[in-house]
Amino acid sequence: MTSTDFNASSSSKPQKVKVAAIQMNSQGDPAANRAQATALIRQAAAQGANFIVTPEYTNIIHHEEKDSLDSISADDDTNPDLRHYKTLAQELGVWLDLGSMAVKLAPDKMANRQFMINPAGDIVARYDKIHMFDVDLPNGQSFRESDTVRPGETATVAQTPFGKVGMNICYDLRFPEQQKAEALEGGASILTVPSAYTVPSGQRTWETFLRARAAETGCYVIAPGQCGTYEDGKGASWGHSMIVSPWGTVVPQAADPDKPGIVIADIDPAEVAAARESYPVDAQTMKFKFNVQAADAQRPDGQAAPAPNKTSRFNFIPK
């Protein structure tokens, strides 16, 4: 650890910080996953990381979330994972973002919940994944996360000594209005996107979306991912964990996209300020309307007449 005080929950001036994205290959055994994550977190801390982020479903993963229900606990003091990671963060003196854990809400329902733990071992922020992964992929795979997972309703920005952190989980990445709100309205300078990205989606969009969100918001993006196969090959995750600068460039990414490991980089708030000064999208975001022309609506001059003006539901005007 450096002499910098990372124990405070916020600071008037964000501090530089060394961050680590943890790449895991979680399976259906919470105890084994806990051991894997702990070893990687300790390795990251030994390399000087003060802020460590684990991937989506750090504690357990199944192709169908219902298969996790019998092995998970509620979000309370009896949860063995929460007790362990709170103690670990305190022991190592680090900020630990549990990218997400499956936590039980009811016999047939769970939350996909992210936890921000400070160096005192306190949970200072929680975020429940808002956008459910209910999709049918071209390769024939289907996912229905909402069958078991109760979606969140509130985007969360956590206060830390190294800046405000917008908390996102995996499929949220496809909805840029959430990250833009976290940055422009919530003041986030860092976005976390812990994921268990599918291989087909990863091949098409993972790096593209991460770099776009960083450039759009002028934020650092920390994106730890699950990797490899799980459930005897029934599921597979893309890996390719990375950290992206506020300019939209990949700083580092996983040396091996298919194996557990860590990705470490230094985050400098001055880079956020420089990117936003060069591209002041906050000040330049404009309110607008749009016209949808009806094909059968003809004006006297033969041109299609515009439909009535509509205000875009995606307008985001922070000021």
Tokens of 67: 């298969």
Q: What is the pLDDT of residue 268?
A: 98
307 vs 78, which has greater pLDDT? 78
Confidence of residue 288 (pLDDT cuts 50, 70, 90): confident
Catalytic residue selected from 18, 56, 182, 271: 56
d(CA 161, CA 181) in angstroms, rounded, equals 21
d(CA 54, CA 52) in angstroms, rounded, equals 7
Which CATH superfamily does the domain covering 17-283 fall into?
Answer: Carbon-nitrogen hydrolase (3.60.110.10)
Rounded to 5 degrees, what are φ and ψ at 165? -115, 115
pTM higher than the cut 0.85 = yes
Confidence of residue 286 (pLDDT cuts 50, 70, 90): confident
pLDDT in tens, 205-253: 999 999 999 999 999 999 999 999 999 999 999 999 999 999 999 999 9
Provide the Cα torsion 216, 220, 85, 226; round to 10°. 70
The β-bridge partners of 157 are 166
Q: Mean pLDDT throughout 1-10?
A: 47
Catalytic residue selected from 18, 86, 104, 129: 129
Q: What is the pLDDT of residue 303?
A: 63
Half-sphere exposure for 97 (CA within 13 Å, toward CB): 35
Please answer whether residues 238 and 198 qualify as being in contact, where contact means their C-beta atoms are separated by less than 8 angstroms: yes
The answer to whether 170 is a known catalytic residue is: yes
d(CA 37, CA 304) in angstroms, rounded, equals 60
Return the percentage of the chain with pLDDT > 90, whole number.
Answer: 83
The full set of domain ranges for the chain reads 17-283
In this model, does residue 266 exceed pLDDT 70? yes
The answer to whether 129 is a known catalytic residue is: yes
pLDDT in tens, 141-180: 899 999 999 999 999 999 999 999 999 999 999 999 999 9
Catalytic residue selected from 145, 170, 180, 271: 170
Token look-up 């600068």 returns: 245
d(CA 38, CA 44) in angstroms, rounded, equals 10
Q: Mean pLDDT throughout 79-107?
A: 98
In this model, does residue 1 exceed pLDDT 50? no
The answer to whether 234 is a known catalytic residue is: no
